[in-house]
Amino acid sequence: MAETALPGPAAAGATRWEAVIGIEVHAQLRTASKMFCRCSTDLRDARPNSRTCPVCLGLPGVLPVINRRAVELVLATGIAIEAEIAPVTRWDRKNYFYPDLPKGYQISQYDLPLASHGRLTFDTSEGPCTVRIRRAHLEEDTARLQHTTDELGRRISLVDFNRSGLPLMEVVTEADIRTAEQARRYAEELRLLLRTIGASDAEMENGQLRVEANVSLRPVGREEFGTRVEVKNMNSFRAVERAIAFEIERQGRALEAGEVLVQETRGWDDVRNETYRMRVKEYSDDYRYFPEPDLPPLRADPAWLDSIRASLPELPAARRARYVAELGLSPYDAGVIVGDPAASALFEEALANGAVAPKALANWITGEYLRVVRQRGDGGHASGAELAHLVAMVEEGRISGTNAKEIFARHVEAGEPVEQIVAALGLAQISDADALAAAVNEVLAAHQAAVSDYRAGKQQVAGFLVGQVMKATRGQANAAIVQRLIRERLEGGE
């Protein structure tokens, strides 16, 4: 891909620019042990350097052993993005010197990635978008450096090798992305896919999903790419979108001013809301890749691939399409539910457990359930079977919609069955006409003025009177029956 200098001052002002963006994602694979040794990947509460061994410390005289599960997860990802799986691949050494890399090389895959030529489709505010994925390969993570000061105020750097050797998958797109929003949506959809197939927990705030964006501009209509900038340190999806939008703006202004851009790496400053220069590329990196002599080539035999394919769950795109085509949900609701794996699982469980209308259930998921999740930070003890039962009770008129929300909120707290809550709170809806007649009579007697207004032609006071009965019965009255009774009384004369 040629990178040519863009037009200089002569073209300034007259040019319309188009952004060209490619995304590189590093995802930590969800395995129990590291990529080439038996050290645990569970680093929660782990003291620095406590999850290490001679292999991931890079000591001489040891041999790496391939983590089969990590390979399987990259293959699963490759299948899920409709990529070509290489029948035979190998490992390569990427050589460079840095304190976070004890061996002096990283085991990676260079010219033979496990998966190549895939694609991912997702929705944006401007409609669906498909991005080609160039490759997905497997490699090992580096150690973590921490730059700090000691008790004497001297600047020191600490190394924690717990992260050294964790399995990483790198996923690289073609430069098909054109807007900051598309870039954010691509990263979100990839995270959803990785979580759905169990390839990665992909928590961005924990560094399990790292997104880097390559951004350049070119005059609209031109084929060749312009000079690109690589943006790093984006710690949230919001940051991805804002950093790229900033970079498009910045490069546009520079090019308009007739400046010639240089290829560089920039970091995103979340506080100042801008990118800053980290380093200028003075020469193209030469990592002197060569085949890893300590590991055999990797053969992905067809039977293995078939079993991986067969064990994949329903993928997000297929599930959204099914919700729309078979359950009659709107594309928007389908997107919201599928976009949240816990919500989607709850919806599936509720569907399987009751004969309630999918649309009514979907309304509960996108409404009450997600509201509760936002408030609590999780879905608590929500059970699909109980939700289905609750929605059925509303549909049968056994409880009012308002009380159902209260019942649901309480159910989420400790998982108490909804029937038990209805009984405990005495919230069963009153549909018995005789019982309601008494309540209606009391309200009419207490609001004589409203009754006269109604008879004088102000029909809208009926709504007020219905509201009074609902209040008197703590929302338990069946509103439709109350309405009928009130009209009968008012129109029957007395």
Residues that bind Zn ion (CB under 5 A): 37, 39, 53, 55-56
Among Zn ion, ligand ADP, none, what binds residue 20 when CB lies within 5 to 8 Å by partner kind? ligand ADP
Q: Which is nearer to ligand ADP, 118 or 475 (CB)?
A: 118
Report the amino acid identity of residue 211.
V
The stretch among 19-27, 202-210, 346-354, 454-462 that binds ligand ADP (CB under 6 A) is 19-27
Phi and psi torsions of 6, nearest 5°: -85, 165
Phi and psi torsions of 298, nearest 5°: -110, 125
User: Minimal CA–CA distance to 390: which of 425, 353, 426?
Assistant: 353
Should residue 449 be labelled a site residue for ligand ADP when binding is judged by CB under 6 A? no
Taking a C-beta distance cutoff of 8 angstroms, is the pair 300, 75 a contact? yes
Give the separation between CA 146 and CA 148, rounded to whole angstroms.
6
Number of residues that bind ligand ADP (CB under 6 A): 17
Task: Count, in order, helices (H) and strands (E) of the chain.
Answer: 16, 16
User: Minimal CA–CA distance to 324: which of 316, 332, 315?
Assistant: 332
Should residue 196 be labelled a site residue for ligand ADP when binding is judged by CB under 6 A? no
Site for ligand ADP (CB under 6 A): which residue of 6, 15, 17, 20? 20
DSSP characters over 301-358 = -HHHHHHHHHH----HHHHHHHHHHTT---HHHHHHHHTSHHHHHHHHHHHHH----H
Please give the residue whose beta carbon sits closest to ligand ADP in the complex: 22
Among Zn ion, ligand ADP, none, what binds residue 429 when CB lies within 5 to 8 Å by partner kind? none
Q: Which is nearer to ligand ADP, 3 or 306 (CB)?
A: 3
Q: Which is nearer to ligand ADP, 3 or 84 (CB)?
A: 3
Within residues 202-241, the interface with ligand ADP by CB under 6 A covers: 214-216, 225-226, 228
Q: Which is nearer to ligand ADP, 72 or 247 (CB)?
A: 247
Q: Which is nearer to ligand ADP, 174 or 348 (CB)?
A: 174
Should residue 335 be labelled a site residue for ligand ADP when binding is judged by CB under 6 A? no
The stretch among 16-24, 61-69, 181-189, 458-466 that binds ligand ADP (CB under 6 A) is 16-24
Among Zn ion, ligand ADP, none, what binds residue 225 when CB lies within 5 to 8 Å by partner kind? ligand ADP
Report the amino acid identity of residue 12.
A
Q: Shortest Cβ distance from residue 106 to Zn ion (Å)?
A: 15
Q: Which is nearer to ligand ADP, 242 or 398 (CB)?
A: 242
Q: Shortest Cβ distance from residue 208 to Zn ion (Å)?
A: 19
Give the separation between CA 382 and CA 410, rounded to whole angstroms.
10
Should residue 261 be labelled a site residue for ligand ADP when binding is judged by CB under 6 A? no
Q: Shortest Cβ distance from residue 168 to ligand ADP (Å)?
A: 15
Q: Shortest Cβ distance from residue 124 to ligand ADP (Å)?
A: 18
Q: Which residue has the tokens 């979100």?
A: 188
Give the separation between CA 99 and CA 118, rounded to whole angstroms.
34
206 to each of 122, 203, 237, how far by Cα in Å?
24, 5, 13
Q: Which is nearer to Zn ion, 161 or 268 (CB)?
A: 161
Q: Where does residue 426 fall: left (phi above 0), alpha (psi -120 to 50 degrees), or beta otherwise? A: left
In Å, how far from its chain's centre is CA 175? 22
Q: Which is nearer to ligand ADP, 172 or 472 (CB)?
A: 172
Within residues 128-187, the interface with ligand ADP by CB under 6 A covers: 172-175
Q: Is 363 exposed, middle or buried (0-12, 13-18, 19+ CB in 10 A)?
A: middle
Q: Shortest Cβ distance from residue 251 to ligand ADP (Å)?
A: 10
Q: Which is nearer to ligand ADP, 21 or 56 (CB)?
A: 21
Give the separation between CA 61 and CA 51, rounded to whole angstroms.
19
Which residues would be at the binding site for ligand ADP (CB under 6 A)?
Answer: 1, 3, 20-24, 172-175, 214-216, 225-226, 228
